[in-house]
């Protein structure tokens, strides 16, 4: 899950919000030798070179050392710099910066605006700091969101508190299939429950619903929301499962061919439910039906 | 990369979700098994499939996918169209096979890689 959040951030954030805008640039007309002091004082190993604020190149510690060895310290920087360097635009998403770091292996990229004016510089450290800061903000945001439901439970005066949500499922109706779990998802989202928990609940209840639609005449999903967990019961009046252990085996399915052609019956459903839940119990009697109970903890 | 960029590069027909083409794509996933997509596709992925019934919209919405590409000139069922409009899920169609779509998307730089691992490695 965490890499999903990071991906989201990488697309959300712009280079400009992460870069260092206080970039130290040098003029191309200066001598190579003049870099000695600033490289030593600022401990910077490379500089953008500008003319009238427009980026014209970069000069690195390596270029500097080479020039010194060749006794070229009096030559203007613009003759030794790398021209047309790789750059990033300030309004590009951060994902582009990550890709460029990977592609070129450079430690930093100058950042420019649409007129090629230098507006900042970005290093891998800046990227990591940007990620951490944004993660922290997101964390607080979700804390507040998660507070809503627990707040509700705290405010309700009762000895026992729970919200019961029930949905009917019609067997064999592929047009309506997924309806119950999508309504459940929307409701849970409305209660302000953490998106990760909502997502897991949605996947598990969708798989359970599909099993009812594929195999049973009818059934129901009952979700009971507590302060610290969601208990889900899915009951059906279906043929029952002969061998539960076998049914749990990845890839095993008794779904008919026409159902498989629709992309269901891949034999992954029960496994998906189990992977999404913190507790999973399946009881079934052949000829009578199946009872599934799974639980998702809220923190 | 945004959806509209792949619409242009692969000459896809936009069937639903014309307003949603500015969505960023986090990667791609190709499968015709719905459970597999539920288990393994990542948020913001574009999904390549030959399934055309309305349950693909439910799956895309559950997983918050950025869009669905239907292959081999397949057109979505009428119910699928209505549901997709309702749920704001872009559906794109093309004459290419799944293999060709995946290959072209890969060439455009769309991956299924994780930035998290990237940051940890570096």
Round to the nearest angstrom and report the end-to-end CA distance of chain B: 23
Q: What is the pLDDT of residues A155-195, one digit of tens each?
A: 888 888 899 999 999 999 888 888 999 999 989 988 878 88
Q: Is the complex ipTM more than 0.85?
A: no
Give the strand pairing for B45-49 and A279-285: unpaired
Say whether A102 and B39 touch across the interface (CB within 8 A): no
> What b/e string do you get for A53-67 counting C-beta neighbours within 10 Å, with b at 16 or more?
eebbbbbbeebbeeb
Q: Provide the mean pLDDT of chain A.
A: 88
**In whole angstroms, what is the distance from residue A273 CA to residue A275 CA?**
5
pLDDT surpasses 80 at B42: yes
* Mean pLDDT lowest among A71-75, A289-293, B9-13: A71-75
Nearest CA in chain A to B63: A199
**In whole angstroms, what is the distance from residue A243 CA to residue A286 CA?**
9
Q: How confident is the model at residue A272 (pLDDT cuts 50, 70, 90)?
A: very high
* Mean pLDDT lowest among A120-129, A133-142, A222-231: A133-142
Q: Is the pTM of this model over 0.80?
A: no
* A interface residues, B as partner, C-beta within 8 Å: 2-4, 6-8, 10-11, 93, 95, 98-99, 101-102, 124, 127-128, 131, 174-175, 177-178, 181-182, 185, 199, 202-203, 206-207, 210, 262-264, 266-269, 271-272, 275
pLDDT surpasses 80 at A151: no
The secondary structure of residue B23, as a DSSP letter, is P
3-state secondary structure of A203: helix
pLDDT of residue A150: 65
Q: Tell how far CA A90 is from the center of its chain.
A: 23
Strongest mean pLDDT among A68-77, A147-156, A287-296, B104-113: A287-296
Strongest mean pLDDT among A41-50, A53-62, A172-181, A240-249: A240-249
Q: What is the pLDDT of residues A61-116, one digit of tens each?
A: 888 888 888 888 889 998 889 888 899 999 888 888 888 888 888 888 999 998 88
Residues whose CB falls within 8 Å of the CB of residue B105, separated by 6 or more in sequence, listed in order: B6, B10, B28, B46, B48
Q: Is B78 on the interface with A (CB under 8 A)?
A: no
Rounded to the nearest 10 degrees, the angle between the axes of helix A179-190 and helix B55-62 is 20
Q: What is the pLDDT of residues A79-89, one digit of tens each?
A: 889 888 899 99
pLDDT of residue A11: 81
Q: How confident is the model at residue B113 (pLDDT cuts 50, 70, 90)?
A: low
pLDDT of residue B94: 97
pLDDT surpasses 80 at A4: no
The share of chain A scoring above pLDDT 90, in percent, equals: 42
Return the residue in B23, B44, B56, B62 with the most chain A beta carbons within 10 A, the one to mutate for interface testing: B62
Nearest CA in chain A to B43: A4
């Amino acid at each position: 899950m965490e890499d999903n959040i990071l991906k989201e951030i990488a697309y959300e954030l712009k280079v400009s919000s992460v870069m260092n805008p206080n970039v130290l640039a040098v003029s191309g007309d200066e001598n190579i030798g003049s870099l000695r002091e600033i490289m030593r004082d600022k401990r910077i190993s490379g500089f953008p070179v500008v003319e009238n604020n427009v980026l014209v190149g970069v000069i690195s510690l390596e270029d500097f050392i080479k020039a010194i060895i060749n006794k070229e310290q009096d030559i203007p920087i613009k003759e030794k710099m790398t021209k047309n360097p790789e750059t990033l635009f300030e309004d590009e998403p951060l994902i582009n910066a990550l890709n460029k770091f990977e592609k070129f292996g450079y430690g930093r990229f100058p950042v420019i605006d649409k007129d090629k004016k230098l507006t900042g510089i970005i290093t891998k450290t800046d990227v990591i700091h940007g990620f951490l800061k944004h993660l922290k903000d997101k964390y607080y945001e979700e804390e507040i969101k998660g507070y809503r439901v627990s707040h509700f439970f705290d405010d309700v005066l009762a000895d026992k508190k729970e919200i019961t949500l029930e949905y009917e499922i019609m067997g064999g109706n592929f047009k309506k299939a997924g309806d119950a779990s999508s309504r459940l998802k929307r409701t849970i989202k409305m209660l302000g429950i953490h998106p990760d928990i909502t997502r897991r609940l949605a996947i598990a209840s969708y798989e359970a619903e599909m099993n009812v639609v594929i195999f049973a005449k009818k059934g129901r999903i009952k979700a009971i929301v507590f302060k610290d967990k969601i208990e889900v019961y899915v009951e059906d009046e279906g043929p029952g499962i002969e061998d539960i252990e076998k049914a749990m085996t990845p890839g095993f399915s008794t779904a008919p061919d026409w159902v498989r052609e629709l992309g269901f019956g891949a034999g992954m459903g029960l496994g998906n439910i189990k992977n999404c839940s913190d507790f999973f119990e399946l009881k079934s009697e052949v000829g009578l039906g199946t009872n599934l109970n799974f639980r998702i903890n809220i923190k | 990369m945004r959806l509209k960029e792949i619409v242009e590069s692969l000459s896809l027909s936009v069937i639903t979700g014309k307003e949603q083409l500015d969505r960023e794509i986090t990667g791609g996933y190709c499968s015709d098994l719905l459970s597999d997509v539920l288990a393994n596709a990542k948020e913001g992925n574009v999904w390549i499939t030959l399934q055309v019934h309305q349950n693909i919209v439910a799956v895309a919405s559950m997983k918050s996918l950025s869009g669905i590409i239907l292959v081999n000139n397949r057109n979505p069922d009428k119910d699928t169209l209505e549901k997709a409009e309702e749920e704001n899920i872009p559906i794109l169609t093309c004459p290419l096979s799944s293999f060709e779509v995946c290959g072209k998307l890969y060439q455009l730089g769309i991956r299924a890689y994780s930035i998290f691992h990237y940051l940890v490695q570096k």
